[in-house]
C-alpha cells in the first residue's frame, strides 16, 4: 500500500463558487481537450457516437434543483473532480503505489505505468472522482493540470488548470490553500467555504462556496420589459403610424 507524506509544503487546489457556476460545461470540455492531447495516456472514448457511449472524464457537472427552507427553488450546478484530500483513501488503498500524493504541493496523481486498473481507488473514493479509462484500462483523475501550472513554456496567465482558465463565469479559482493570505484562502474565509462531505474525514483540499439565497421578489428582466413610453414618439412614432396604415 502507498503511504501519504508526513507533511506537504503547499496545498494547491480549487475553490468553486456554486453561486456563479452556470453549468455551461466549458470546464468539462477544456479538461477533456487538454488531458486528451497532453498529460499521460489520452482520455479514451468507446463508441462515442453510438447507442452506448462510454468515456473517461476528469471533471463532470451535476445539476440539482434545490428547495431551501425559505425562498424560491433554485438550480445548483455542481462541478465535481478529485479533491486532492489530505487524508486520501485512494492513495492508501492502492496495492501497487500507482496512486500517490506529492509532498511539494499536495497534488494526488496516478503513475499510469504502475496502475493495474484494479479499481480499488475508485471504490475507496467517497466522491466518485476516479474513473477507469475504457481504452487504456488504467485509472484516471484530475491532475490539477500539473503539466500546465509548472510549464515555463506557457504564458504566466495560462499556468493554471485548464478548467480555471476556461470558465467564462469566473466560478473556478486556483491557488495555495495552505497560505491564509492567498486569494483562494481569503475567498474561502469571506464566503464560508465548505468541504464536500466532511463526515468522511478525508480533509479535502478543494473547497466549495455556497450559493447565495435568491430573492423571490427580484425580477432582473422587469425593467427591460417595461414600455419606454405609452405612445411612441419621434421616428418610432412615425414608423408605428405608418405601419398602422398598411
Distance CA 28, CA 142 (A): 11
In tens, the pLDDT along 102-157 reads 999 999 999 999 999 999 999 999 999 999 999 889 999 999 999 999 999 999 99
39 — pLDDT class (breaks 50, 70, 90): low
Please report which helix (H) or strand (E) contains residue 33, including its range.
helix 26-37
Summary mean pLDDT of the chain: 89
Task: Compute φ and ψ for 65, nearest 5 degrees.
Answer: -95, 125
What's the burial of 189, exposed, middle or buried (CB within 10 Å: 0-12/13-18/19+)? Answer: exposed
pLDDT (0 to 100) of residue 132: 93
Instruction: Please tell me whether residue 46 adopts helix, strand or coil conformation.
Output: strand
Closest to 39 (Cα-Cα) out of 141, 159, 176, 146? 146
Q: How many helices (H) and strands (E) does the chain have?
A: 8, 11
Would you say residue 232 has pLDDT above 80? Answer: no
pLDDT (0 to 100) of residue 142: 96
Task: Compute φ and ψ for 238, nearest 5 degrees.
Answer: -60, -45
In tens, the pLDDT along 158-216 reads 999 999 999 999 999 999 999 999 999 999 999 999 999 999 999 999 999 998 876 65
pLDDT (0 to 100) of residue 203: 97
pLDDT (0 to 100) of residue 223: 59
pLDDT (0 to 100) of residue 236: 62
Claim: this prediction has a pTM higher than 0.75:
yes
pLDDT (0 to 100) of residue 49: 86
Would you say residue 71 has pLDDT above 70? Answer: yes
Question: In order of start, what are the domains of the chain with their CATH numbers?
Answer: 12-215 (3.30.70.20)
CB atoms inside a 10 Å sphere around CB 21: 23
Amino acid at each position: 500500500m502507498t503511504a501519504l507524506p508526513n507533511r506537504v509544503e503547499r496545498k494547491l487546489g480549487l475553490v468553486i463558487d456554486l453561486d456563479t457556476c452556470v453549468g455551461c460545461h466549458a470546464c468539462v470540455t477544456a479538461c477533456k481537450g487538454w488531458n486528451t492531447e497532453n498529460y499521460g495516456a489520452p482520455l479514451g472514448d468507446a463508441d462515442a457516437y453510438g447507442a452506448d457511449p462510454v468515456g473517461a472524464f476528469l471533471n463532470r457537472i451535476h445539476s440539482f434543483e434545490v428547495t431551501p427552507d425559505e425562498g424560491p427553488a433554485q438550480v445548483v450546478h455542481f462541478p465535481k473532480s478529485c479533491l486532492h484530500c489530505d487524508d486520501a483513501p485512494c492513495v492508501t488503498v492502492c496495492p501497487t503505489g500507482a496512486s500517490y500524493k506529492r509532498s511539494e504541493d499536495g497534488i494526488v496523481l496516478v503513475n499510469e505505468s504502475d496502475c493495474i486498473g484494479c479499481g480499488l481507488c475508485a471504490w475507496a473514493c467517497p466522491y466518485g472522482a476516479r474513473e477507469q479509462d475504457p481504452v487504456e484500462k488504467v485509472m484516471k483523475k484530475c491532475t490539477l493540470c500539473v503539466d500546465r501550472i509548472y510549464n515555463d513554456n506557457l504564458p504566466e496567465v495560462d499556468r493554471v488548470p485548464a478548467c480555471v482558465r476556461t470558465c467564462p463565469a469566473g466560478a473556478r479559482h486556483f491557488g495555495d490553500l495552505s497560505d491564509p493570505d492567498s486569494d483562494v484562502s481569503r475567498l474561502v474565509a469571506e464566503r464560508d467555504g465548505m468541504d464536500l462531505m466532511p463526515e468522511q474525514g478525508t480533509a479535502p483540499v478543494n473547497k466549495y462556496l455556497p450559493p447565495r439565497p435568491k430573492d423571490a421578489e427580484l425580477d432582473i428582466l422587469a425593467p427591460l420589459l417595461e414600455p419606454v413610453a405609452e405612445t411612441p414618439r419621434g421616428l418610432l412614432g412615425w414608423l408605428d403610424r405608418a405601419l398602422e396604415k398598411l
